[in-house]
């Protein structure tokens, strides 16, 4: 047994040595080699096809790893969103359901990529190593065939030393080597073109599956995100209406307006007491229903807590209304003996600020000039504070800019404390808080 194994090893080594010698002789041009141009073309196509398949598989494996990483990141992001979205907010349960739907979509998507795209790709790519082994074997048998052919030719070329026994033996070895080579070569002439042509059908099937999975995932996930966006929009609307605003026990003092001749801002509720206020022309005054007064705040919540004089006394002004302030403005003492009477009634809906007259004969003009205005313009105001819009239908402006007040396109859209205006010198139109401006 040991001798048989040793003989087999010796024979294998001898065969490898003979092939190496034959290749060396062919490379140096000592002997010719059998040429097969058609096979060489098939081999080039096979090599190109194999390289493309290996690269595609490598990149697709990387793509799946990235998709799974994004899936994990999406899951943790949605979990964090569910934690930060408070249970009393509008759409809390619906948001939870949509985030679970998104997680399901990610799972189905990655499963399709692995089962319906990656597995067929692995099957397709596994054909190349087996075919490469067969091509290498064909190459070895070709070298054996060329070696036996050259050996037989050398035996025939020397008639003086010709040994018929060696010639016969050489002829048998040549026929065997030729038969083995031609069988492998014939099989490869059939299999290589068939494998090369199969690339089209495989790519069509594989890529259609991939693109369909992508389309379904992105279409369904876009619907989920549209629902999430709608939930957040409803939350924003509720927030603007003050649904989630903390109720303050006491109002903190607000800074005085930095601009002179600001508008008097009066609450729509009638005052509970008949009190008197000494007014300086450079002071902005806000009066609430309890008689307390404060300066206009530069950053009121939405909607503004107070309204301009255009919304006052909407048919309810039937006489004199008195206001009270415990502070003396510009070092002037408040006199309890003075009373304030409103001499003009504010028009309904689009009222223009009016002039206020005191009983001692002093007039404080808080109104707006309506002379020489373009058609459709009710009056003009000047921005006393900067305002950055918080919605698309609002108007942004800086301190000092002039705004033309116009009517609402739809009167039912009018909101308390808000005006509709066009920034002078531009075509920018939108709503803005009245207590950020003063009438001109």
Residue matched to tokens 């239908």: 393
Is the pLDDT reported for residue 48 higher than 80? yes
Q: How many residues does the chain have?
A: 440
Is the pLDDT reported for residue 404 higher than 90? yes
pLDDT score, position 167: 83
Euclidean distance between CA atoms 85 and 116, whole angstroms: 37
Q: Are 379 and 440 spatial neighbours (Cβ–Cβ below 8 Å)?
A: yes
Euclidean distance between CA atoms 207 and 212, whole angstroms: 8
Could you report the per-residue pLDDT of 54-74, keeping only the tens digit for each? Answer: 999 999 999 999 999 999 999
Q: Which residues partner with 405 through β-bridges?
A: 379, 421
pLDDT score, position 80: 95
Q: Is residue 377 part of a domain?
A: no
Q: Is residue 322 part of a domain?
A: no
Is the pLDDT reported for residue 437 higher than 90? yes
pLDDT score, position 430: 94
Could you report the per-residue pLDDT of 154-180, keeping only the tens digit for each? Answer: 877 776 666 778 888 888 989 999 999
Is the pLDDT reported for residue 21 higher than 60? yes
Could you report the per-residue pLDDT of 315-369, keeping only the tens digit for each? Answer: 443 333 333 343 433 444 444 444 344 334 434 444 555 544 444 444 444 567 7
Residue matched to tokens 């009638």: 270
Q: Is residue 129 part of a domain?
A: yes
Name the pLDDT band for 396 (thresholds 50, 70, 90). very high
Q: How many domains does the chain have?
A: 1
Q: Which structural domain, as residue segments, surrounds residue 103?
A: 24-240
Q: Which residue has the higher pLDDT, 249 or 45?
A: 45
Q: Is residue 183 part of a domain?
A: yes
pLDDT score, position 259: 44
Lay out the sheet containing 265-266: strands in order across: 265-266, 286-287, 293-294
What is the biggest distance separating any 2 CA atoms in the chain, rounded to whole angstroms? Answer: 154
Could you report the per-residue pLDDT of 107-147, keeping only the tens digit for each? Answer: 999 999 999 999 999 999 999 999 999 999 999 999 988 88
Euclidean distance between CA atoms 138 and 132, whole angstroms: 10
Q: Is residue 307 part of a domain?
A: no
What number of H helices and E strands is found in the chain?
A: 6, 11
Q: Is residue 323 part of a domain?
A: no
Write the CA distances from 199 to 145, 237, 269, integer angstroms. 33, 56, 82
Q: Is residue 267 part of a domain?
A: no
What percentage of the chain reaches a pLDDT higher than 90?
49
Task: Find the CATH number of the domain harbouring 221.
Answer: 1.20.1270.60
Q: Are 378 and 406 spatial neighbours (Cβ–Cβ below 8 Å)?
A: yes
pLDDT score, position 195: 96
Helix (H) / strand (E) element for 59: namely helix 37-84
pLDDT score, position 262: 40
Q: How do beta strands 286-287 and 265-266 pair? A: parallel
CA-CA-CA-CA dihedral for 209, 210, 212, 214, to nearest 10? 160
Could you report the per-residue pLDDT of 287-314, keeping only the tens digit for each? Answer: 344 334 333 344 444 444 433 433 443 3
Euclidean distance between CA atoms 90 and 84, whole angstroms: 13
| Residues sharing a CB contact under 8 Å with residue 26, sequence separation 6 or more, in sequence order | 32, 33, 146
Q: Is residue 50 part of a domain?
A: yes
Q: Are 199 and 49 spatial neighbours (Cβ–Cβ below 8 Å)?
A: yes
**Encoded tokens for 234:** 């409803």
Is the pLDDT reported for residue 410 higher than 90? no
**CA angle 293–294–300, rounded 5-degree value:** 130
Q: Is 119 helix (H, G, I), strand (E, B) or coil?
A: helix
């Amino acid at each position: 047994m040991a001798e048989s194994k040793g003989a087999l090893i010796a024979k294998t080594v001898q065969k490898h040595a003979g092939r190496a010698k034959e290749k060396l002789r062919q490379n140096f041009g000592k002997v010719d080699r059998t040429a097969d141009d058609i096979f060489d073309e098939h081999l080039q196509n096979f090599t190109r096809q194999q390289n493309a398949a290996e690269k595609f598989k490598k990149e697709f494996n990387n793509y799946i790893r990235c998709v799974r990483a994004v899936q994990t990141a999406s899951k943790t992001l949605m979990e964090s969103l569910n934690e930060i979205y408070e249970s009393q907010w509008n759409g809390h349960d619906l948001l939870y359901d949509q985030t679970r739907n998104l997680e399901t979509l990610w799972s189905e998507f990655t499963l399709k990529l692995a089962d319906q795209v990656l597995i067929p790709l692995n099957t397709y790519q596994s054909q190349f190593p087996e075919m490469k082994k067969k091509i290498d074997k064909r190459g070895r048998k070709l070298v054996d065939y060329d070696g036996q052919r050259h050996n037989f030719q050398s035996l025939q070329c020397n008639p003086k030393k010709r040994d018929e026994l060696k010639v016969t033996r050489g002829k048998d070895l040549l026929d065997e080597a030729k038969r083995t080579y031609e069988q492998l070569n014939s099989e490869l002439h059939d299999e290589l073109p068939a494998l090369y042509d199969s690339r089209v059908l495989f790519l069509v099937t594989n890529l259609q599956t991939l693109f369909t999975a992508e389309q379904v995932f992105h279409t369904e996930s876009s619907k989920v995100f549209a629902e999430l966006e709608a939930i957040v929009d409803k939350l924003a609307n509720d927030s603007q209406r003050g649904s989630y605003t903390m109720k303050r026990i006491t109002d903190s003092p607000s800074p005085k307006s930095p601009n002179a001749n600001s508008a008097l801002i009066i609450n729509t509720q009638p005052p509970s007491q008949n009190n008197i206020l000494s007014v300086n022309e450079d002071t902005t005054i806000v009066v609430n229903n309890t008689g307390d007064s404060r300066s206009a705040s530069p950053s009121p919540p939405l909607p503004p807590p107070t309204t301009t004089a255009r919304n006052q006394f909407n048919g309810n002004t039937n006489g004199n209304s008195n206001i009270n302030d415990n502070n003396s403005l510009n070092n002037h003492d408040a006199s309890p003996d003075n009373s304030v009477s409103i001499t003009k009634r504010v028009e309904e809906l689009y009222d223009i600020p009016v002039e206020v007259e005191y009983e001692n004969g002093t007039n404080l003009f808080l109104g707006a000039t309506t002379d020489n205005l373009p058609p459709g313009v009710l009056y003009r105001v000047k921005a006393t504070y900067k305002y950055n819009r918080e919605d698309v239908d609002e108007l942004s402006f800086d301190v000092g800019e002039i705004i033309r007040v116009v009517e609402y396109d739809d009167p039912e859209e009018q909101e308390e404390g808000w005006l509709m205006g066009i920034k002078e010198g531009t075509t920018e139109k939108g709503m803005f808080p009245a207590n950020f401006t003063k009438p001109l």
